[in-house]
Chains A and B, each alone.
Chain A
C-alpha cells in the first residue's frame, strides 16, 4: 500500500500539487485521472521519487520516502515496476535482453534460471517466441507495451506504475493491455497505479480512482461510483463525450 499524505509540490513558485492525500491499495488498479495540466504526471513522479516534494509524506507500506537516503531509494525502486508511456525499452537490446536486464542487475539466480523466468514473463504477456530475439524497433507498439510489462514484473514488484499505458494504441490493443494490467494486479496482489485520461480504461479497470483538478484532489471512488457521482467537475471530465453522456443517461 502507498499512502500520500498532504503532498505539496511546486515549480518556481507555481503550485502543481496542493495538499493532495490518497491511499493506493494492494491488489487494486489505482487510477490517477484528470485533464492535461491537472498535476497527475507530477503526482505519479512524486510518488515514485523522481520529483522531490515540498512537504507531505509518501509512505510505502509505512516507509517514508522523504526520509530515505539515495541508496535506500534505489533499494525501494527494486520493488517497483514501471510501464512508461513510450515503453522505454532499451533499443540496443533484444526483447529477451530487455526482460533479462533487471535480473542481471539485481538477481543472484543462475543464467538458466534468469532465462526461464524471463521466458515465463514473456509468455505471461503473450509475446510469441519468435519475436524474443528481435530488437524493440522491429516489433509493434502493442508488443512493445507487453514487453515493457514483462520487464516491469520480472522481479515480482510490490508496486507497479503505468504512465498512460494506452497512449498511441488502437482501441482493441488498449483493451488487451488493460486486461493484462488488471490480471497481473490481481494475480500478484500488486499495488498498481495507472495515470490515464482514457475513459475506456478508467471504466474498464479502475478499482480506486483519484480525480485531480488544478493540482487538488477533487474526487476519489470506484468506477461504479463514477456513474452516480454528483461531482460537477468529475462529470464534466468523465462525460465530456456524447457517448459517455448517453451511457450515463441510460444508466440513470
Chain B
C-alpha cells in the first residue's frame, strides 16, 4: 500500500511539475542557476573520480589479462568499454545521486518545513513547477556532457598508467582504446544518463516536496531520496541494457 501511495503522489507531483512555466523569464533564470549548481559544481568530483577509476580499471584489466593468448591491446579495449558502457553512465549517476539528489531533497525539504513552499502557493505560484522543473531540465541537460567528460577523463587516467608506470605501454593502450570502436555505445551511455538524470532529480524533489516535520525529517527525506533513486537507477539500468544492447 505504501508503495502505491508513493507512486500516486509522485505521479500527481510530476503532473504539477511538467507544465509550461507561469513566467518564462523566471524559469530561464532558475534554469541557468541550476545548470551551474547541479552541473558545473559536479564537475570537480566527476573529474577526480573518473581519472582515478580510469587508472584503476587499467591496472585491474592488466592484472586479469596476463595471458599470452590475449593481445596486448586488450587492456585499453576493456578500459574503454567499461567506462563507456557502465562507469560513466551508471556508476557516475549513482555517485551523483548522492551529491545532487541529497542537495535537492534537503533544499526543497527545508523550504517545505519552513513554509516557503506554502508561501509560494498562497501567492498563486505553482511551486512544484517553479522549483522542480528547472532542476530536472538542467540536470538532464548537463548529464550527457558529464558522461562524455567522464569517459574522456577516465581514458586519460588509463593513459597515465601507461605513461608513468611500466604496467602497460602507451602504444598498446592507445591501440586498445581505438580498437573496434562502436559509436553506438556512446549513445547507449547518453540515453541511460538522460533517464537516470530524470530519476535522480525527480525522486529527490518528490522526497523533499513531501517532507513533513523538522530537521530530522528533512535528513530522512534526503537519505530516502538517495537510497531509492540508487535502487531505481540499478533497476532501470537492467531494463535499458536489455532493451538497448
**Which chain A residues have a beta carbon within 8 Å of chain B's beta carbons?**
48, 50, 74-78, 80, 82, 84-86, 88-91, 101-102, 104-106, 161
Contact = CB atoms under 8 A, between A and B. Distances in A.
B41 interface: no
A48 B121 CA distance: 10
A74 B126 contact: yes
A84 B119 contact: yes
B122 interface: yes
Could you say which interface size class chain B belongs to? 10 to 19
A84 B118 contact: yes
B124 A50 contact: no
B123 A78 contact: yes
B116 A90 contact: yes
Nearest to A45: B118
30 contacts: A50-B118, A50-B122, A74-B126, A76-B124, A77-B121, A78-B123, A78-B124, A80-B124, A82-B119, A82-B122, A84-B115, A84-B118, A84-B119, A86-B115, A88-B116, A88-B118, A89-B116, A90-B111, A90-B116, A91-B110, A91-B116, A101-B123, A104-B25, A105-B22, A105-B23, A105-B26, A105-B123, A105-B124, A106-B22, A106-B123
B82 interface: no
Interface of B: 22-23, 25-26, 110-111, 114-116, 118-119, 121-126
A169 B173 CA distance: 69
Contacts of A74: 124-126
Contacts of A104: 23, 25-26
Contacts of B114: 86, 88, 91
6 closest A-B pairs by beta carbon, nearest first, are A77-B124, A88-B115, A78-B124, A88-B119, A74-B124, A82-B122
Contacts of A78: 123-124
Contact of B125 (A89, A91, A105): A105
Q: A-side binding surface: helix, strand, loop or mixed?
A: mixed
Given A104-B23, A104-B26, A105-B26, A80 B122 contact: yes
A76 B121 CA distance: 11
A105 B118 CA distance: 16
Nearest to A73: B124
Contacts of B121: 50, 77
Given A104-B26, A105-B23, A77 B123 contact: yes
A75 B119 contact: no
Contacts of A91: 110, 114, 116
Contacts of B22: 105-106
Contacts of A90: 111, 116, 119
Question: Which residue among B26, B121, B122 has the maximum number of chain A CB atoms within 10 Å of its CB?
Answer: B122
Contacts of A82: 119, 122
B114 to A, nearest CB: 6
A49 to B, nearest CB: 9
A77 B126 CA distance: 11
A77 B238 CA distance: 46
B115 A48 contact: no
A85 B115 contact: yes
A48 B122 contact: yes
A106 B119 contact: no
Contacts of B26: 104-105
B206 to A, nearest CB: 19
Nearest to A77: B124
Contacts of B110: 91
Contacts of B23: 104-105
Nearest to B113: A86
A70 to B, nearest CB: 9
Contacts of A84: 115, 118-119
Question: Which residue among B26, B110, B124 has the maximum number of chain A CB atoms within 10 Å of its CB?
Answer: B124
A161 B114 CA distance: 17
Nearest to B126: A74
Nearest to A90: B116
B65 to A, nearest CB: 51
Contacts of A102: 123
A146 B203 CA distance: 36
A102 B124 CA distance: 9
A36 B103 CA distance: 35
B109 to A, nearest CB: 13
B59 to A, nearest CB: 44
Given A104-B26, A105-B22, A75 B115 contact: no
